[in-house]
Amino acid sequence: MRASGITRAAWALTPAVLLVGLLSGCGADDPRAGCSWMNDQALAPGAGGTVVLVDSSASVRGTGAPDYSGAVDALLTKRVEAGDTFSIGTFAGAPGDVDWTFQKRSADWKKSARSSVRQKSNRDNAVTCLAEDVATAQHAVPAHGGTDVLGALATGVGLLQGVSGPRRLVVLSDGLSTTGCADLRQAAFGSASEIKAIASVCATRGEFSELPDLTGVDVTFVGLGHSAGDQPSANQVQRAWLARLWKTLCERAGGTEASCAAADTPVGSKASPHSTGPVPADPKVPYHDGRSRTYPLPGAALFDTDSAGLRPAATAPLTDIAVRARTTPGLDHVEVDGYVDPRGGSGNDRSLSQSRADAVAEVLVDHGVSGARVEAHGRGVSPGCPADRSTDEMSAKERLQCDRRVDIRIFWK
């Protein structure tokens, strides 16, 4: 009888014991076992969507890399509490090139289980797992060099299409774009007029605009100016300038002062992310206080084919560059260099490039830049893109746009 009683008790306890052992085993072998429910849930109607874009370019890698997972923990906690769906991806290299860690994973913890205890456990696990996913994304090795923050934003917004609830983009980056209209390699990092000029160039209307549509999207930048320790370092003034720049670009793209934010969350550092291969080089942004700043403008955005007549859309960016030039302390002179692409074969390459440079120079003078300080040069056929721009990943169309351009270079003493 005694042995039989023990046997009955043991059999009564077996399911609970087995369940505890099973759960413990999963947790030990798979630290993400507590988040498997996020993969299985259907996207809830009305749920918000949060897309996290993680910069994995060379400037945020190496010794003292920014700790994005730590910096974004509070934000993730808030969005998990709201039950958002999440997508996390890394960006670097070609415009709009985002490598997704995962897409549209639900964090609706209230619907993840019947038990309130299990629901709260799932909520806490979701925050931990998402922070780990951000760290994993930061380790990813990009396929190409360069950084295009605006291109990543455009791709991220595309993933929010169809989200019926609030839409959010979180951008974890030092903000140092090295391609596109917001290329900062020659930036002076010092004035509001420079920010305005960059924003105007990026917002050139028509097919050449590089700004995504951020209407109705909350955008938060985290880590601006915080690069890896072996990269050029931004001071507090330069970080504030970067924050103003990206908020301005966000607002010009359809956001509002309330929906475009540069978080002042402290960003710690960590050891170099583990890499599974060599990291493509990224041109460095030197934060220099140099003596010149170049604004390259695509000729196709300024002129019709084989014409030196300025398009109406060219007025805004040229006006802003004129303001930038005439308000530059210690202005020495301004050079306008016109280039054409090699397809013409008409024998008037130099005269066309000169006429285009003259047309641009005239606008600068008309908007307050002293004529004595403006030099216009028709350079003829372009020898190629500037040396600091890689053409390895450019299409034939992109190379032609790079060739037929007008460079406005402002020199100061």
Q: Is 89:55 a contact under the CB 8 Å cutoff?
A: no
Q: Give the separation between CA 269 and CA 66, rounded to whole angstroms.
A: 4
Q: At residue 96, does pLDDT exceed 90? A: no
Torsion angle of the four alpha carbons 287, 89, 135, 113, in this order, in degrees rounded to the nearest 10 = 150
pTM: 0.68
For the record, the structure tokens of 206 come out as 């028509």
Q: In the predicted model, what is the mean pLDDT of residues 206-231?
A: 86
**Cβ burial, residue 1 (10 Å; 0-12/13-18/19+):** exposed
Q: At residue 149, does pLDDT exceed 70? A: yes
pLDDT digits (tens, 9 = 90+) for 333-357: 899 999 887 765 555 677 888 999 9
Name the nearest CA neighbour of 350 among 316, 377, 386. Answer: 377
Name the nearest CA neighbour of 131 among 86, 176, 99. Answer: 86
For the record, the structure tokens of 179 come out as 């391609």
Whole-number mean pLDDT of the chain?
82
Domain at 48-270: CATH code: 3.40.50
pLDDT of 26 reads: 36
pLDDT digits (tens, 9 = 90+) for 20-56: 333 333 333 455 678 889 887 666 677 899 999 999 9
DSSP 157: H
Domain coordinates in residue numbering, the chain: 48-270, 292-412
pLDDT of 275 reads: 55
Q: At residue 142, does pLDDT exceed 70? A: yes
For the record, the structure tokens of 25 come out as 């085993």
CA 85 to chain centre: 21
pLDDT of 23 reads: 37
Q: Give the separation between CA 358 and CA 224, rounded to whole angstroms.
A: 38
What's the CATH number of domain 292-412, 3.60.20.40, 3.40.50.720, 3.40.47.10, 3.30.1330.60?
Answer: 3.30.1330.60
Q: In the predicted model, what is the mean pLDDT of residues 217-228?
A: 94
In terms of phi and psi (left: phi > 0; alpha: psi -120 to 50; beta: otherwise), the region of 402 is alpha
**Cα angle vertex 50, ends 74, 226, to 5°?**
55
Do 292-412 and 48-270 have the same topology in CATH? no
Q: Is 180:147 a contact under the CB 8 Å cutoff?
A: no
pLDDT of 13 reads: 40
Where is average pLDDT lowest: 114-118, 122-126, 217-221, 403-407? 403-407
C-alpha to C-alpha distances, 378 to 27, 92, 126, 281, 392, nearest whole angstrom: 68, 35, 60, 33, 27
Q: At residue 12, does pLDDT exceed 50? A: no
At which residue do the structure tokens 């000029």 appear?
A: 197
Which three-class secondary structure string do you get for 4-61?
Answer: HHHHHHHHHHHHHHHHHHHHHHHHHHCCCHHHCHHHHCCCCCCCCEEEEEEECCHHHC
Q: At residue 188, does pLDDT exceed 70? A: yes
Q: Give the separation between CA 275 and CA 100, rounded to whole angstroms.
A: 17
C-alpha to C-alpha distances, 384 to 285, 404, 405, 408, nearest whole angstrom: 22, 9, 10, 17
pLDDT of 4 reads: 39
pLDDT of 146 reads: 83
Other C-beta atoms lying within 10 Å of the C-beta of residue 2 = 6
pLDDT of 170 reads: 97
In terms of phi and psi (left: phi > 0; alpha: psi -120 to 50; beta: otherwise), the region of 154 is alpha
pLDDT digits (tens, 9 = 90+) for 238-278: 888 999 999 999 999 999 999 999 998 888 877 655 555 67
For the record, the structure tokens of 412 come out as 């100061």
